[in-house]
């Protein structure tokens, strides 16, 4: 079976992906999410830096880091928000996700104040092991009518914090409104 040493990783902006690569990526994501990967999810994955993992020429892993503002206790933070993390089903549990997310962490460290993501229950152990921290405070989405709590996401929102920032219990974390899943 393949291991992470044989997977090649490539960073690319959405604009640098060919139509064929975008179609290949959409195919991977459509099949990696058993509960569905809709057009809103697809739009959330575009417009940032993609980390693409290939084995023998085949696209087997992906994560996108998109610029987004998260509001940490009312202070806007330039955030690398992670979207559309996927490893093809037969290769899960073999270190490919770890290699992919290490590259994502490098992108975030180079270009953003902090990292953020909303994790599926199955992915939480991976993110914890890699230093991502579950947000301990309440979460909300910022709207034209003020903040709206998102308690259904509490426990799934994770941050990758640089030295000097901490996840303080009770501190609010907010995201801006968007169509589809706000987190």
Cβ–Cβ < 8 Å for 126, 98: yes
Cβ atoms within 10 Å, residue 83: 23
Say what the pTM is: 0.92
- What is the predicted pLDDT for the residue at 5? 52
Cβ–Cβ < 8 Å for 75, 115: no
Give residue-wise pLDDT tens across range 31-87.
999 888 999 999 999 999 999 999 999 999 999 999 999 999 889 999 999 999 999
At residue 1 the predicted structure's pLDDT band, cuts being 50, 70 and 90, is very low
Taking the C-alpha atoms of residue 83 and residue 50, their distance in angstroms, rounded to an integer, is 9
β pairing state of 146-149 and 49-55: unpaired
Tell the residue number behind the tokens 């799934």, with chain if given.
Answer: 156
Backbone phi, then psi, for 9, in 5-degree steps? -110, 140
Of the candidates 43, 66, 53, the residue with the CA atom closest to the CA atom of residue 21: 53
Cβ–Cβ < 8 Å for 139, 173: yes
Taking the C-alpha atoms of residue 49 and residue 12, their distance in angstroms, rounded to an integer, is 6
Q: Is 49 exposed, middle or buried (0-12, 13-18, 19+ CB in 10 A)?
A: buried
- In the chain, what are the domains? 4-176 (3.40.630.30)
């Amino acid at each position: 079976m393949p291991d992470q040493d044989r997977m090649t990783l490539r960073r690319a902006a959405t604009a640098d992906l060919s139509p064929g690569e975008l179609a290949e990526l959409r195919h991977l994501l459509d099949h990696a999410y058993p509960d569905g990967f809709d057009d809103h999810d697809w739009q959330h994955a575009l417009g940032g830096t993609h980390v693409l993992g290939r084995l023998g020429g085949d696209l087997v892993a992906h994560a996108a880091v998109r610029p987004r503002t998260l509001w940490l206790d009312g202070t806007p933070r330039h955030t690398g928000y992670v979207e559309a993390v996927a490893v093809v089903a037969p290769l899960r549990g073999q270190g490919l996700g770890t290699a992919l997310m290490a590259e994502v962490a490098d992108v975030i460290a180079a270009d953003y104040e902090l990292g953020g993501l909303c994790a599926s229950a199955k992915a939480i152990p991976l993110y914890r092991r890699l230093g991502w921290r579950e947000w301990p405070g309440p979460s909300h989405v910022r709207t034209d009518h003020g903040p709206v709590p998102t308690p259904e996401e509490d426990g799934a929102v994770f941050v990758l914090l640089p030295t000097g920032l901490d996840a303080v219990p009770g501190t609010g974390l907010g995201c801006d409104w968007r169509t589809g899943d706000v987190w």
